[in-house]
Amino acid sequence: MSGPWMCYPGQASQVPALPGCRPLLKLQCNGSQVPEAVLRDCCQQLADISEWCRCGALYSMLDSMYKEHGVSEGQAGTGAFPSCRREVVKLTAASITAVCRLPIVVDASGDGAYVCKDVAAYPDA
């Protein structure tokens, strides 16, 4: 059974941290070539998450990466991504589902997409 009730804000602590997607995000953001194994690991981890929760998992990963590097909300620095502007980091994270060709559900109507609009709009990442 799946639906909007399966994943909601505040459930972030129950969503996996996507450790396989962290190197993918860093490499893509810096314009580096992404090894096939890195892409496969990330996509597999994301595929194991409900299509309702994939964007939330990417949110959570991005948030934890910034917190680990001591970047607080609204701060200009990008400790986790030294050579990548915040806007680029957000857009890159938002497109991971598309890179993996994994559908996401955008809203309660069940409409699908491939790019997480929520992540791109995430204010403090």
Return the CATH number at 59.
Answer: 1.10.110.10
Domain that holds residue 99: 20-121
Q: Is the pLDDT of residue 1 over 50?
A: no
- 50 or 81: which leads in pLDDT: 50
Query: pLDDT band at 8, cuts 50/70/90?
Result: low
| 44: its two tokens | 């597999």
What is the structure's pLDDT at 107?
66
Does the residue 60 lie in any domain? yes
User: Is residue 40 domain-resident?
Assistant: yes
In a domain, 10, yes or no: no
For range 86-106, the mean pLDDT: 88
In a domain, 12, yes or no: no
Whether 96 and 22 have beta carbons less than 8 Å apart is answered as: no
pLDDT digits (tens, 9 = 90+) for 12-43: 445 667 999 999 998 988 888 999 999 999 99
Between 72 and 92, the more confident residue is: 92
Say what the pLDDT of residue 83 is. Answer: 73
pLDDT of residue 76: 44
Tokens coding 46 = 């994301």
Other Cβ atoms closer than 10 A to 72: 9
Q: What is the spatial distance between Cα 100 and Cα 44, in angstroms, rounded to a whole number?
A: 9
Indicate whether 5 pLDDT > 50.
Answer: no
- Whether residue 69 lies inside any domain: the answer is yes
| CB burial string 31-62: b at 16+ within 10 A, e below | eeeeeeebbebbbebbeebebbbbbbbbbbbb
Question: Structurally, how many domains does the chain consist of?
Answer: 1
The reported pLDDT for the residue numbered 55 is: 87
Does residue 91 belong to any structural domain of this protein? yes
Q: What is the DSSP string of 35-83?
A: PHHHHHHHHHHHHTS-TTTHHHHHHHHHHHHHHHTTPPTT-S--TTSTT
Domain membership of residue 98 (yes or no) is: yes
Q: Tell me, yes or no, whether 92 lies in a domain.
A: yes
Quote the pTM value. Answer: 0.77
Tokens of 12: 């972030």
Across 94-106, average pLDDT: 89
> Across residues 97-123, what is the average pLDDT?
75
